[in-house]
Amino acid sequence: MSSGSGTTVRSLLLLSAVGLMGAAATYLVEGPVRFWANWLVWMVFGIAVGLGCLFIVALEHQVQSIWSVPLRRVPERLSSLALWVTPLVLAALLGLPVLYPWAKPAGASVPAIVLKSAWLNTPFFIVRTLICVALWFLAYGLVVKRSFEQDRSRDPMITVRLRRYAPLVLAIFALTLTTVAFDWISSLEPVWYSDIFGVYLFAGTFLSGLAATTLGTLYLYNRGRLPGITKDHLYNLGGFLFAFTVFWGYIAFAQYMLMWYGDMPEEVFWFKQRTTGGWLALALILGIGHFFVPFLALVSRKAKTSPKRLRWVSLWLLAFMLIDLYWLIFPAVGAKVRLGWPELSFALLFLPLGLLAARAAMAKGEDTPVGDPFLQEGLEFRL
């Protein structure tokens, strides 16, 4: 490790240590609710980025994509964030009695909670969580670790096996992400329900995975570590970012429109919480920032091939995924719009750790899947 690299690592660890002290102070000064709400935001964010990248890898194998083969090592590496987040998930189980009404003794007197008690109970919740974590490790082992093995063996049959495993990994992704959506977020308000909430989280997750993949690709591209990659490859990344920005906007609006139109008390209270007081301003910022800004920024063909434009749009989308999670979680625990030193402390705690995890991941294997028999064809891709 070079001295400059070592200095970077020490600086990130120092920032994280400062954040850890701030997070501990949040628990002592502001109370456990604000502590665990912030913890939940960053936990789900880590899951979203990691699973989003894992979904991209499995999807590439499922559709037998050729153009993306030279770029595939980036989402493969970053998908390991879904494994790094495991300690956060296990620790978050301690916050169940703090945040979740169904985990509190008073929940036994609420009819809507009692009707869902077969699903919403602490032992079964813990079991589901452990199963999800185990399935993430399984999925990673099936399509990512085997791809790294191909760097050494150069066995073309590994590509065939990866394509066979892809449907299973996609099924794992759908099952576990839906479980995260309804268990960790939706059940904060167990009276409320939405048939498409899992799709809503999927839209943000896939967009986050695309943004992280784009940033990782540009990181290698600008350092000359992806020879043969052209603006045509970048254009496809920009096109996917643009398309799924539209998809996120569509799902977000559809969920709101259907509940507004139905006007059912057990549904509309959820949006009322998030569109009154200070939350209304944040909802407007979310709609503009998560949809209109990236939509307009990427609408032209030239923008989709500009590394500078793709970089800031990707960072922008990841930031708004965090804002989205904040908007989903904090009103559910009765919090007002507050962005103060506790939120900054959690950012200082988890952002440096995430960057260190990504840094370690980006050093795994070759920069391109050199054993894949379709690598050269992927490098020759032109629009």
As a whole-number percent, the residues of the chain with pLDDT over 70 amount to 99
pLDDT tens digits along 57-67: 999 999 999 99
**Please, what sign has the CA dihedral across residues 312, 314, 318, 324?**
positive
C-alpha distance from residue 74 to each of 51, 82, 196 (Å) = 13, 14, 30
Alpha-carbon distance of 29 to 15, in angstroms, equals: 21
pLDDT tens digits along 122-148: 999 999 999 999 999 999 999 999 999
- Looking at residue 174, the DSSP 8-state letter turns out to be H
pLDDT confidence bin for 113, thresholds 50/70/90: confident
pLDDT tens digits along 163-207: 999 999 999 999 999 999 999 999 999 988 888 999 999 999 999
The first and second tokens of residue 247, run together, are 């998809």
Alpha-carbon distance of 308 to 262, in angstroms, equals: 43
User: 120 and 190 in contact (C-beta within 8 Å)?
Assistant: yes
CA geometry: angle 172, 176, 181, nearest 5 deg: 150
Please list, in sequence order, all residues whose beta carbon lies within 8 angstroms of the beta carbon of residue 111, skipping any fewer than 6 positions away.
none
DSSP states along 290-303: IIIHHHHHHSSHHH
pTM of the model: 0.95
Whether 36 shows a pLDDT value over 80: the answer reads yes
Question: Among 53-57, 70-74, 226-230, which is the least confidently predicted range?
Answer: 226-230
Nearest one of 164, 129, 158, 128 to 145, comparing CA atoms: 158
pLDDT tens digits along 292-350: 999 999 999 999 999 999 999 999 999 999 999 999 999 998 878 888 999 999 999 99
Nearest one of 287, 288, 289, 313 to 300, comparing CA atoms: 313
Per-residue b or e along 6-43, where b marks 16 or more CB atoms closer than 10 Å to that residue's CB: eebbeebeebbeebbebbeebbeebebbbbbbbbbbbb
Alpha-carbon distance of 211 to 238, in angstroms, equals: 9
CA geometry: angle 226, 232, 237, nearest 5 deg: 80
According to the model, what pLDDT value does residue 3 have? 54
Whether 2 shows a pLDDT value over 60: the answer reads no
Q: What is the largest CA-CA distance in the chain?
A: 64
User: 46 and 83 in contact (C-beta within 8 Å)?
Assistant: no
Helices marked H in the chain: 3-25, 32-62, 73-78, 81-84, 86-92, 96-99, 111-115, 122-140, 146-153, 157-180, 197-222, 231-262, 265-274, 278-287, 293-298, 301-304, 307-329, 341-361, 375-379
pLDDT confidence bin for 107, thresholds 50/70/90: confident
The first and second tokens of residue 302, run together, are 């030239």
According to the model, what pLDDT value does residue 266 have? 79
Mean of pLDDT over the chain: 94
